Structure 1
Amino acid sequence: MAEVDAVQPNGTPAWIDLGTPDLDRAMQFYGAVFGWEFDVGPEETGRYTMCLLRGREVAALMPNHDPGATEFWWNVYFATDDVAGTVSKAEAADGHVITPPMDVMDKGRMAILSDPVGGQFGLWHGNRHVGARLVNEPNTLLRNDLVTPNPGPAREFYPKVFDFSLDSDGYLGEDDFTFLRRPDGHEIGGILGDPSAPASSWGTLFMVEDADATARRAADAGGVVQPPYDMAYGRIAEIKDPFGTPFTIGAAKTG
């Protein structure tokens, strides 16, 4: 269990949110799967809705008002103490700016970028909102990994932007996987080279106590669930919510 009450170190996945075509339906689904409660924001903030566990923010949902949108995904925001400076590093490393640095009221400062292979991510400099206040425990964010058919440029990009080190220790067998570590050695996620991936995207994995039970709840709530399976670190399942938003759940190996 990790309770977060201060700004995370640079490069740490600090926040996640999801734009969805039906906010009420999304709250029903994620509430059933993870036991979250919700604090729906006012119209002037676009009904930006905090997802709460034990009264602490773990993620956010918001309406996506684009009638032409057909794909939805969890956005990951990496902590930075200098949004503009990190944007400059990203541009120098062949990244692209989608949303320039901007203040979010008194909550913090953000930007949206894409890496050289098209993986989209955000930056977050917390003020009154430091980001997720519970992580690494059941029904909260555990990790984020970039899946891409072209991992080489991504493995060059992220160390330049966040001073990550790369670690390919072979823990995942033959998979083309590289761990990303902060300068203090803390693992923040990884990059998976997958030639079959249709595009590059950052995935979101939520920790759960029981992958099979959580997968059943997701299916009962209207999600599309791939059968859970065992891997090196535990048991995981890949899920899509009722609008096709992909995410992964994982339960740690016991015994």
Structure 2
Amino acid sequence: MRNVINWFEIYTTDFDRAKKFYSTVFNCKLTDVPMKSDRHTQMQYATFLDSEDKSGFNGALVKIEEAKPGMGGTLIYFASEDINEELSRVEAAGGKIIRPKLDTGAFGFIALIADTEGNMIRLRSAL
């Protein structure tokens, strides 16, 4: 059975601040993608890529007039080798730890954080 999730978007109000937060917490590079539109709305887009061959879960940070960030929307889980590593960088990157590391038994560990844009995301690791 194929995985039906193939892309996600995290909305931002301060695009550069959000890029800095995610690249710092997850120690990853985001790639700016120029977007062409027939509309007058400015759109900024930067992608997360799961691997060099672009397989797996992929998504983007997005700044667009029609969509605003915030708590209570879709919850995205970010995979982690050791959840303590990402948690140690959250507050220094301008985010907030909402629920610290929680042992979920056979499902590993989870934590709930807020990014600099007010979006809530979940971390999940085996450690």
Band of TM-score, shorter chain: 0.7 to 0.9
Could you say which residue in structure 2 is the equivalent of 1:32? 24
- For 2:102 and 2:61, the matched residues in 1 are separated by 28
Contact 1:38 1:49 in 2 (8 A): yes
Q: Tell me the alpha carbon deviations over residues 203-231 of structure 1, each in whole angstroms, 9 at most, x when there is no partner.
A: 21111011122111112101110321211
Q: Which runs of 5+ in 2 are unaligned?
A: 38-42
TM-score (norm 2): 0.76
Q: Which runs of 5+ in 1 are unaligned?
A: 1-7, 74-198
Paired-residue identity, %: 26
Q: Secondary structure at the match of 1:47?
A: strand
- For 1:53 and 1:14, the matched residues in 2 are separated by 11
Contact 2:44 2:64 in 1 (8 A): no
Q: Tell me the alpha carbon deviations over residues 18-66 of structure 1, each in whole angstroms, 9 at most, x when there is no partner.
A: 1211111111010011122122122525232212355455221111335
Q: Relative contact order (alpha carbons < 8 A, sep ≥ 6): 1 or 2 greater?
A: 2
Please provide the CA RMSD for this pair: 2.5
Contact 1:17 1:61 in 2 (8 A): yes
1:42 equivalent to 2:37? Answer no
Q: Tell me the alpha carbon deviations over residues 82-141 of structure 1, each in whole angstroms, 9 at most, x when there is no partner.
A: xxxxxxxxxxxxxxxxxxxxxxxxxxxxxxxxxxxxxxxxxxxxxxxxxxxxxxxxxxxx
Could you say which residue in structure 2 is the equivalent of 1:241? 115
> Within 5 Å, which residues of 2 pair with 1:61-76?
61-65=61-65, 69=68, 71-72=69-70
Contact 1:36 1:52 in 2 (8 A): no
- For 1:53 and 1:31, the matched residues in 2 are separated by 13
Q: Secondary structure at the match of 1:48?
A: strand
Q: Tell me the alpha carbon deviations over residues 219-255 of structure 1, each in whole angstroms, 9 at most, x when there is no partner.
A: 21011103212112211110000111001001115xx
- For 2:51 and 2:8, the matched residues in 1 are separated by 18
Which structure is higher in strand share?
A: 1
2:101 aligned to which of 186, 204, 228: 228
Contact 1:47 1:62 in 2 (8 A): yes
1:251 equivalent to 2:108? Answer no
Q: Secondary structure at the match of 1:28?
A: helix
Change (3 A) 1:56 1:248: farther
> Within 5 Å, which residues of 2 pair with 1:165-244?
201-225=73-97, 226-232=99-105, 233-244=107-118
Contact 2:30 2:46 in 1 (8 A): yes
- For 1:13 and 1:52, the matched residues in 2 are separated by 14
- For 1:222 and 1:44, the matched residues in 2 are separated by 31
TM-score (norm 1): 0.41
1:60 equivalent to 2:57? Answer no
Contact 2:9 2:60 in 1 (8 A): yes
